[in-house]
Structure 1
Amino acid sequence: MKKLIVACLIAASAAEAHAVCTGPGAEATATTVQQLRDAGREDQRIALRGHIVKSIGDEKYQFADSTGELPVKIDHKRWPAAQPVNQTGTIELTGEYDKEIVGASKAKVYDIKVVQ
């Protein structure tokens, strides 16, 4: 019985370790590519509106808005089902900014919405 209780406590502790912060400051900041390049912070939550310019391989794409272009990483599971996305379609991306000290910074995309 003691082993069962200990196992339950360990499982409960592990579940708490994967909690997600949803309080103040956790929401994505609407921004532009230029604002990210000028003042973006590592792991900053972002929301971008623009379009995909091209695929650059291995789940990486070139995203563009009216202020510039930024590489983005989009896992194949994140693409909206039954909604094609092309170079002329407007989309909204939410995710995190991955600021690099050396090399090109990029965005990790967690959600994509097709804008009509």
Structure 2
Amino acid sequence: MNKLLFTMTLALMSSSVMAAFNGPSAPAVSNVEQAKSAADDSFVVLTGRIVQSLGGELYLFKDASGEIEVEIDHENWMGQEVSPQDTVTIRGEVDSEWTTTQIDVDMIQKI
């Protein structure tokens, strides 16, 4: 009896761990102009160019709608060499603070 109860409990726990939301989600912010006015932690997918290093992990990203600072952790480069002439897609979140808005980049892909 105890084995049966234990097995049933384990089965219920494992199925709830695998559960996830399956439905509509908010669309990703897709350009710099939208990102500058988006809510903090909004998901972004931007395509453009990294035009300048601002020191440390900060860079200036530019697309057709404007420029914004992006923070790219060293490990997120994943060995890619990127120049200002290269087009990239970045995925991340808006990081809004009192006076600045930046993009905290989770993934960068050279295209």
Change (3 A) 1:64 1:22: farther
Overall identity of the aligned pairs, in %: 33
CA distance in 2, matches of 1:22, 1:110: 22
What is the TM-score normalised by the length of structure 2?
0.74
Higher CA-based Rg:
2
Aligned residues: 94
- The answer (yes or no) to whether the contact 2:89–2:110 under 8 Å persists in 1 is yes
Equivalent AA in structure 1 for residue 52 of structure 2 = K
Structure-2 residue corresponding to 1:3? none
2:105 is the alignment partner of 1:106? no
Q: Of 44, 66, 85, which aligns to 2:64?
A: 66
Structure 1 portions without partners, runs of 5+ = 1-15
- After superposing on structure 2, the runs of 4+ consecutive aligned residues of structure 1 that deviate more than 6 Å are none
TM-score (norm 1): 0.71
Shift of 1:80: 3.2
Cα gap change, 1:22 to 1:52, in 2 (>3 Å): farther
The Cα shift of 1:32 comes to: 0.4
For residue 29 of structure 1, give the secondary structure of its aligned residue in structure 2.
Answer: coil
Give the alignment partner of residue 94 of structure 1, picking from 84, 87, 91: 91
Work out the CA distance in 2 between the residues paired with 1:49 and 1:66.
Answer: 9
When residues 22 and 60 of structure 1 are mapped into structure 2, their CA distance, relative to the original with a 3 A threshold, is farther
Structure 1 CA distance, aligned partners of 2:58 and 2:21? 27
Amino acid at match of 1:114: K
Tell whether 2:57 aligns with 1:48. no
CA distance in 1, matches of 2:41, 2:21: 15
Partner of 2:82: 85
Q: How far apart, CA to CA, are the structure 1 residues paired with 2:73 and 2:109? A: 14
- Structure 1 residues 68 and 94: alpha-carbon distance in aligned structure 2, compared to 1, 3 A threshold: same
